[in-house]
């Protein structure tokens, strides 16, 4: 079982909402730091271990600075994410660019920052060579797609149907070509699942990469410097689910390393790009219940919408919901908890058992949506002209800092030439 707690009381939320009207995200700095330290401690069995936090999960420089201070790097998928990592203090090979169908300007920026470039396709070898002044960098990583050799999962799909990575044959040819073109250092990466809670699944991924790195050495003479096990580790969104133990994961991988890699003479560093399990459980979307509707079902409508958190609409994903001040109240009602978007899938919960919820524009119950600290605010959008909410950081000393303000109408129109419209 996983405990679903929230660090603020209803009274504290009422006071906070006077300055920062709902909806807003809250992140817990102390909890994120404790988790980062637990990850590093577990993986200390691997000298040179590096976590490249998946910036896509929570692209806010305040969060990235916290993680950088704990020794984490960044995994980036775009030019803005590279800039976020750099402004957060992450430098050179602490940054990894793992993108796909990548434009030249992103490779150029990665080279400028000294970041690790992780190629997604065989054809990108020539593309990057032509795009970068001076040709290919000294260190290049390649992303492997194992196809039917590895089972995927519901969110990311089957590897053989995914657009990512080299095939096995392309990988061997790719490393040979990179070596011919003067590359001296090599990395190996894969990412084959998303939100996977099976420990055995992740150990199997480790075995696959360890065996492949040894085979590459034996067949090509190329020594892989690091393997990046990717991300994909899930979190227990449902109370009845259990988190994967960092210690169990690291010790299981170490056993495989000693069995497969150590006898080969390879000196592999272990890298990861976890995002969701680093910050996911330590972020919450806080909204207020402003309307109720009584038709064929009972509805509770929030001042947030799927523009603020789209995972339930996109994947049918479960997010636990609690009502501050009513944590121990009986679950007497069955609600669909919805937003105001003109889409019928704008629902945070469907037929969810909850305590009786009071609704009002300014005095209705707060509704806390849990495990929103990754792939939450980051996936927001402006359909229907909805304005994305802000982000607050609960500091380790108990104070609150706004780390992203809520969008305004002026923000929404900022990219339009309004004077030109008047003259049009």
Q: Which residues does the annotation mark as catalytic?
A: 342
Residues 332 and 328: their CA atoms lie apart, in Å, by 12
Nearest-5° angle of CA 197, CA 201, CA 203? Answer: 115
- Percent of the chain that is helix, strand, coil (3-state, to 5): 35, 20, 40
Contacts of residue 350, Cβ cutoff 8 Å, sequence gap at least 6? 336
Tokens found for residue 353 = 């058992």
Kindly provide the residue ranges of all beta strands, DSSP E only, lying in 73-223, ordered along the sequence: 73-76, 95-98, 116-119, 139-144, 185-190
Judged by DSSP in three states, 254 sits in helix
Give CA angle at 140 (93, 172), nearest 5°: 145
Cα distance between residue 116 and residue 200, in whole Å: 29
Instruction: Indicate the helix (H) or strand (E) that contains 283.
Output: strand 283-294
d(CA 73, CA 94): 4
For the four alpha carbons of 56, 62, 65 and 66, in that order, the dihedral sign comes to negative
CA 259 distance to own-chain centroid:
31
Question: What does the longest C-alpha to C-alpha distance in the chain come to?
Answer: 74
CA distances from 288 to 27, 291, 361 (A): 18, 9, 8
Please state, in angstroms and rounded to a whole number, the distance separating the CA atoms of residues 349 and 360. Answer: 19
Total residues belonging to the chain: 424
Q: How far is CA 313 from the centre of its chain?
A: 18
User: CB–CB of 272/310 below 8 Å?
Assistant: no
Rounded to 10°, the helix 61-69/29-42 angle is: 40
- CB contact set of 45 (below 8 Å; sequence gap of 6+): 250, 251, 254
How many angstroms separate the CA atoms of 23 and 39, rounded?
31
């Amino acid at each position: 079982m996983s405990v679903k707690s929230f660090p603020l009381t209803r009274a504290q939320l009422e006071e906070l909402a006077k300055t920062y009207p709902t909806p807003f995200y809250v992140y817990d700095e102390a909890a994120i730091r404790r988790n980062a330290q637990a990850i590093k401690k577990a993986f200390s069995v691997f000298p040179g271990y590096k976590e490249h936090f998946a910036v896509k999960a929570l692209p806010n420089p305040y969060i990235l600075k916290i993680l950088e201070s704990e020794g984490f790097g960044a995994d980036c998928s775009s030019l803005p994410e590279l800039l976020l990592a750099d402004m957060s203090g992450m430098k050179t090979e602490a940054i990894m660019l793992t993108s796909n169908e990548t434009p030249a300007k992103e490779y150029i920026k990665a080279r400028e920052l000294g970041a690790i470039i992780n190629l997604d396709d065989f054809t990108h070898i020539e593309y990057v060579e032509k795009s970068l002044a001076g040709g290919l960098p000294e260190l290049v990583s390649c992303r492997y797609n194992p196809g039917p050799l590895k089972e995927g999962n519901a969110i990311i799909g089957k590897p053989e149907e995914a657009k990512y990575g080299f095939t096995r044959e392309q990988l061997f040819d790719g490393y040979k070509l990179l070596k011919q073109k003067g590359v001296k250092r090599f990395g190996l990466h894969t990412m084959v699942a998303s939100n996977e809670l099976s420990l055995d699944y992740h150990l199997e991924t480790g075995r696959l990469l360890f065996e492949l790195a040894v085979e590459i050495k034996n067949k090509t003479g190329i020594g892989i410097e690091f393997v990046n096990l990717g991300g994909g580790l899930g979190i227990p969104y449902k109370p009845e689910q259990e988190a994967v133990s960092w210690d169990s994961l690291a010790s299981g991988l170490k056993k495989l390393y000693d069995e497969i890699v150590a006898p080969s003479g390879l000196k592999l560093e272990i890298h990861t790009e976890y995002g969701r399990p680093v910050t996911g459980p330590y972020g919450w979307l806080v909204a207020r219940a402003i309307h109720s509707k009584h038709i064929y079902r009972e509805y509770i409508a929030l001042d947030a919408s799927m523009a603020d958190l789209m995972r339930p609409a996109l994947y049918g994903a479960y997010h636990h919901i609690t009502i501050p001040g009513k944590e121990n109240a009986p679950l007497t009602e069955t609600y669909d908890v919805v937003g105001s978007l003109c889409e019928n899938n704008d629902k945070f919960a469907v037929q969810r058992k909850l305590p009786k919820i009071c609704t009002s524009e300014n005095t209705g119950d707060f509704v806390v949506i849990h495990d929103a600290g990754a792939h939450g605010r980051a996936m927001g959008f402006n359909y229907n002209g909805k304005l994305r909410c802000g982000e607050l950081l609960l500091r380790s000393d108990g104070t609150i800092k706004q780390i992203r303000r809520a969008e305004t109408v002026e923000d929404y129109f900022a990219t339009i030439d309004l004077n030109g419209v008047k003259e049009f």
